[in-house]
Structure 1
């Protein structure tokens, strides 16, 4: 009954509509986007003479407010990686999103079909998704900015610095594709640096 109620909210009452299934029917693709909250964990290290001094450095850099990746100087504070804690993922209701929709149904052209809140300004043709960028360590330094990585990716392959007969480039993967590569071959990115970046599609 709960699912039926949601369908009625999106499309109206279906009780008087008869659906005829035949072999000539077409298949149409849709999306249902959900907005939620999730914790992100960043791994970093602090070089100090003592644990107490390391804690003081953390406090002095206001890490309760600032993203540690922005404070990485490669010496005192060193950022290692970030990961999403998927077991903390929780759904969000419009009341906790300034009344804006937190569930939106879209067609294959990213046109909104229905939503559970008010959001007339939302442009679903523009989406932000997480991608994994990997590049040979001789192509760019580990602390290259996101902008430098994206520019190198957009520029495509270039002659490798160590051997111009070979091509070197920034590779891009979805998280699932990246996980598959790692699971199939734990040494797949031995000589690569990796960065997770949210990009606009």
Structure 2
């Protein structure tokens, strides 16, 4: 009930909202951030004597997407790539986020207008961090603007230009994640363009 009251205070009573278009009015842009949960799938291979032995190796090791190791007797575990399972994306309530907001509305200057819970940060606009964006060379040209890259990233996966059965998208990494991918596989971004962009979180 508290969450419902907070949402009404923030966004008003949706049933009574009426939008009026007036040519004399100015247009102001805002954006709304949602926090949710999603499953990530990591693909890896195991070099073993048999399928059962491979399963035993997996069960015996505390695997994570960071694990790339040579085990005894030529046994090897290598993580190749990961992907987000977008059909598992689900919203999150403030109660599931320690009372912190999971929906926040901001203006074009990144100043908070309203939210459906507590905000642990006093000023969200100062949260600027460096991110690495990588995209298939057939998705966007090398000289694409930062705005075009960010827009394509926000839009998510689209059918690949060369094969509509495959999905193509702009990927995002922290510098550490990007370095890790390069160190693990020097060909990881062989057919990709890469751009470092400072973004507001």
TM-score category of the 2 structures, normalised to the smaller one: 0.5 to 0.7
Q: 1:105 to 1:25 in 2, by over 3 A?
A: same
Query: Alpha-carbon deviations, 1:120-164, whole Å to 9, x = none?
Result: 426432668997754999999999999999999999999999999
- SS for the counterpart of 1:189 is coil
Whether the 8 Å contact between 1:69 and 1:79 is mirrored in structure 2 is no
Normalised TM-score (structure 2):
0.54
Bigger mean CA offset, 126-135 vs 149-158: 149-158
2:102 alignment counterpart: 102
Query: Alpha-carbon deviations, 1:41-88, whole Å to 9, x = none?
Result: 111111111112212221232127976799999981121111111111
Root-mean-square deviation (Å): 11.9
> Residues of 2 paired with 1:168 and 1:25: CA distance?
39
Q: 1:164 to 1:86 in 2, by over 3 A?
A: closer
Q: 1:169 to 1:193 in 2, by over 3 A?
A: same
Q: Which consecutive aligned stretches of 4+ in structure 1 deviate over 4 angstroms post-superposition?
A: 1-8, 11-21, 64-75, 126-201
Query: How far apart are 1:25 and its partner, in Å?
Result: 1.6
Whether the 8 Å contact between 1:128 and 1:200 is mirrored in structure 2 is yes
Query: How far apart are 1:8 and its partner, in Å?
Result: 4.3
Bigger mean CA offset, 12-21 vs 34-43: 12-21
- Alignment length, in residue pairs? 201
Bigger mean CA offset, 50-59 vs 5-14: 5-14
Q: Which has the larger radius of gyration?
A: 1
Whether the 8 Å contact between 1:72 and 1:79 is mirrored in structure 2 is no
Bigger mean CA offset, 110-119 vs 122-131: 122-131
1:134 and 2:130 equivalent? no
